[in-house]
Structure 1
């Protein structure tokens, strides 16, 4: 399991979003308040962020706990960004991939994270893995469920699907192959955030016209945080947040009648 967070909005120091809040992602690495599976997120961490004028994000990832990396807090204090995706990891199974298994995963302008687990891994997703081109399988960053879920979503993005359709179809496909899978997915291109709530907590904090934060749990006690219902697709920008029940998705997500602005 893990905790993750994505932000788009006005420029902020990374530390103001991840380290300074009283219950920020940094603290969630050892004291999450809402984590249902696992207790300590000490099996790696990562942050990806966007610099002005460059659509391809930078990443800083490590295999150990974030509290043991003094360089990260120094970096987070001075690096500023208008968009980021960060995660702290509690590995479902032991593995040798270390830093490579820590989110965010990346491809081109995209950053991705998976909060959850796939029962029966790897056998449960063997059939889906065979649907991918050999080049995609050989390019996996790590040999874990999250990396394969990312490969499935990325194949859809590269095939022309919109982010919401890509994540929604991936969740439905993986959940069908592995019943009981927990699939809270988080995706950003630096301007928008797309996420799914499927089996674990997801919250958002929106300041229309300024910023949006989507996270596994609130990083403070601001009453404006809103919880996303389970089995929901979220699409956010600094302008607004849209929620769509995943159970009502059709092949044409853009025309789904259930899509409504959040209140």
Structure 2
């Protein structure tokens, strides 16, 4: 269910990160190699990136498969960035189909993506939604499980929690209410926070930077992240922290 990646590093083109790599995110939209749930990711795509001098990211999202949008190829070829989050979508049955459901979601300086699903969708939504203020529910960008997880995380960020603590807490909260797969990515353009919870996650070092992705491309050296792990990364370093089983099982 979906593939995604985040990058921090030396300035490079979106094409170099998303389209060019063999077995990279572009190819994973129709031929993922490590995806254990679903077969293709053709229900939309999105890219968010940061431009020099502006902390608020730009986004390009569509409800079509990434290979079906020739305009994206031109945008990707000429757009350069030092930080990026991109995703290709395999929609959870019963969720929204518009481009507003395609990651990345954004608020202020943050970009967010969710790879996985809430197994009890939409039945499991009630208990999770009840923890949100009504204004947050009304502000949901799309009718889908990923948008609910983003609302939970965004609320914690707004309340002053750091991204790593907020991500771990949201995964624990979601897992306590419903079985599911909760791999998330969030970045502010300077750091990346990710969780491996029920699906594959890897990180790779590039000259002057780092990539965290659902699955590796054919370039460079990649390391698999153990399941139930919180990842925090900067350009210079990647740190792994276990998400305790007890934390994910609490009610």
| Shorter-chain TM band | over 0.9
How far is 1:92 from its partner? 1.4
Identify if the C-alpha distance between structure 1 residues 249 and 191 changes in structure 2 by more than 3 Å, giving closer, same or farther: farther
Q: Distance in 1 between matches of 2:3 and 2:91?
A: 11
Q: 1:242 aligns with which of 214, 219, 239?
A: 239
TM-score, normalised with respect to structure 1: 0.91
Alpha-carbon RMSD across the aligned residues, in angstroms, is: 1.4
Tell me the residue number matched to 1:217: 215
Contact 2:230 2:241 in 1 (8 A): yes
CA distance in 2, matches of 1:13, 1:249: 42
CA drift of 1:46 comes to 0.2
**Equivalent residue, structure 2, for 1:80:** 80
For residues 68 and 12 of structure 2, what CA distance do their matches in structure 1 show? Answer: 24
Q: How many residues align?
A: 247
Q: Structure 1: give runs of 5+ residues left out of the alignment.
A: 251-263
Match of 2:23 in 1: 23
SS of 1:11 mapped into structure 2: strand
Residues 195 and 229 of structure 2 are in contact (CA less than 8 Å); yes or no, is this contact kept in structure 1? yes
TM-score, structure 2 as length reference: 0.95
Please report how far the alpha carbon of residue 207 of structure 1 lies from its aligned counterpart in structure 2 after TM superposition: 4.4
Question: Is 1:123 matched up with 2:123?
Answer: yes
The verdict on how the C-alpha distance between 1:249 and 1:51 changes in structure 2, with shifts beyond 3 A counting, is farther
* Distance in 2 separating the partners of 1:5 and 1:131: 29
CA–CA distance in structure 2, aligned partners of residues 199 and 127 of structure 1? 21
User: Secondary structure at 1:116's aligned position in 2?
Assistant: strand
Q: How does 1:84-99 map to 2 (within 5 A)?
A: 84-99=84-99
Query: In structure 1, what is the Cα distance between the partners aligned to 2:177 and 2:201?
Result: 23
CA deviations on 1:195-216 (whole Å, 9 max, x unpaired) are 00000000001248x2110000
Asked if the contact 1:44–1:64 (Cα under 8 Å) also holds between the matched residues in 2, the reply is yes
Instruction: Write the distance in 1 (CA, Å) between the matches of 2:68 and 2:16.
Output: 19
The 3-state SS of whatever aligns with 2:151 is helix
Distance 1:94 1:131 in 2: 22
- Give the CA deviation at 1:122: 1.8
Q: What is the CA-CA distance between 1:96 and the residue it aligns to?
A: 4.1
Aligned partner of 2:101 in structure 1 is 101
